[in-house]
Amino acid sequence: MKHLWVVILISVLLMACALCSFFLGRYPAGLSDGIGLVSWMVQSKNPSMDPDMRLLENIFFNIRMPRILGAILVGSALSVSGAAFQSMFINPLVSPGLLGVLAGASFGAAMAMVFFKSFFAVQVSAFVFGCMAVFLSMGLARLFKGDRLLMLILGGIVSGSFFTALLSMVKYLADPYDQLPAIVFWLMGGLSSVTNQTLGYVCVPILTSMGILMALTPYMNALSMGEEEARSLGVHVGLIRFILIACATLMSALTIIMAGIIGWVGLVVPHMARMIVGPDNRVLIPSAALIGGLYLLAMDDLSRLVFTVEIPLGILTALCGIPFFVLVLRHARKGWG
């Protein structure tokens, strides 16, 4: 039951961090303003009656809240899909982009930026092409006989490279003064464009997928013993693997429409979680969700506070993830404890 305490501790930390994040930001709206706004609302007065309160309401509930919730959701979705992929592919060096979802979504978003110009179109197109890239790699894997996992990985490499090439083509065709910078900036990832509305329509599918993955954690343990062994244990390997890939892909694709490409979280956070609670997916997956949320929230706070200009989140997660990953590699010989 040691792990239960760890999970509770991380949840408390996450909540504390989320609460603090409400009062951090470029605009000076701190704790006292927050208390003022809450007491105003507790007296059931409409904040829009007072211009100061209206401003505060806007800052707290329309700017900071979606950003905080978005960071937690994106961080945990990426971490859970990364952890699921790692146990399914029996490889701790795998990240959620393995089957090409990131490459596909990047291409989809870039293309929509050039041809449609509406942010909603960018989101839809990123999602559709992200899923399409994964379908392509699964289809390629089906074409060939042999080790299923290896074929899936090769399919992912092919489909990823294909969509990366298409992305380069779109970049080449894009208007270099207006569209190209927008594409490049979007690919760096960030949570500044998350709105309550976007959160509203992504949170249900993300949380549902996460719930499904958590229900299947005993099978993930069996799958990481290898396909034949899992099968001899009575696991319907093909079906479980399909559900895992579908849920992980859905989650990653939805994080992309919220926040663009945020690298390294899906690779590094499962390792952090594994170092803390061990490799049993029944504990690992929920812990990775909590740690991922906490990690990305903290990173996002750093990205908007440390310098006068906001650093794109994807750059920050890479810069912080890489040294940590090097540390993890030092422990690699001990069997990915």
Partner 1 sequence: MNFISVNQVSYAYSGTPVLSHVSLSVTKGDILSVLGPNGSGKTTLLKLILGFFQPDSGTVHVDGQDVGTFPTRMLARKIAYVPQVHRMAFSFRMMDVVMMGRIPHKPFIFRYSKKDKALAETAMERMGIAHLKDRSYTEVSGGERQLCLIARALAQGADTFVMDEPVSGLDYGNQVRLLTTIRSLASEGYTFIKTTHFPDHALWMSGQVLMLKKGRVVITGPSDDVITQASLSDLYHLDMDVAHTLCGTRVCVPDAMRTGRVPLQ
Binding region for partner 1 (CB under 8 A): 87, 90-92, 145, 215-216, 218-219, 221-222, 224-226, 228-229, 231-236, 274, 278-280, 334-337
> Closest distance between partner 1 and the C-beta of residue 332, in Å?
11
> Closest distance between partner 1 and the C-beta of residue 337, in Å?
5
> Closest distance between partner 1 and the C-beta of residue 226, in Å?
8
Of 259 and 284, which CB lies nearer to partner 1 in the complex structure? 284
Of 214 and 302, which CB lies nearer to partner 1 in the complex structure? 214
> Closest distance between partner 1 and the C-beta of residue 218, in Å?
7
Of 51 and 335, which CB lies nearer to partner 1 in the complex structure? 335
Contact 296, 70 (CB under 8 A): no
- 39 Cβ neighbours under 8 A, 6+ residues apart: none
> Closest distance between partner 1 and the C-beta of residue 335, in Å?
4
> Closest distance between partner 1 and the C-beta of residue 216, in Å?
8
Buried b (16+ CB within 10 A) or exposed e, 143-178: eeeeeebebbbbbbeebbebbbebbeebbeebeeee
Of 45 and 331, which CB lies nearer to partner 1 in the complex structure? 331
Of 60 and 85, which CB lies nearer to partner 1 in the complex structure? 85
> Closest distance between partner 1 and the C-beta of residue 241, in Å?
13
Of 274 and 304, which CB lies nearer to partner 1 in the complex structure? 274
| Chain-centroid distance, C-alpha 295 | 11
Contact 216, 246 (CB under 8 A): no
Of 181 and 218, which CB lies nearer to partner 1 in the complex structure? 218
Contact 97, 157 (CB under 8 A): no
Measured at the CA of 190, the angle between CA 187 and CA 196, to 5 degrees, comes to 125
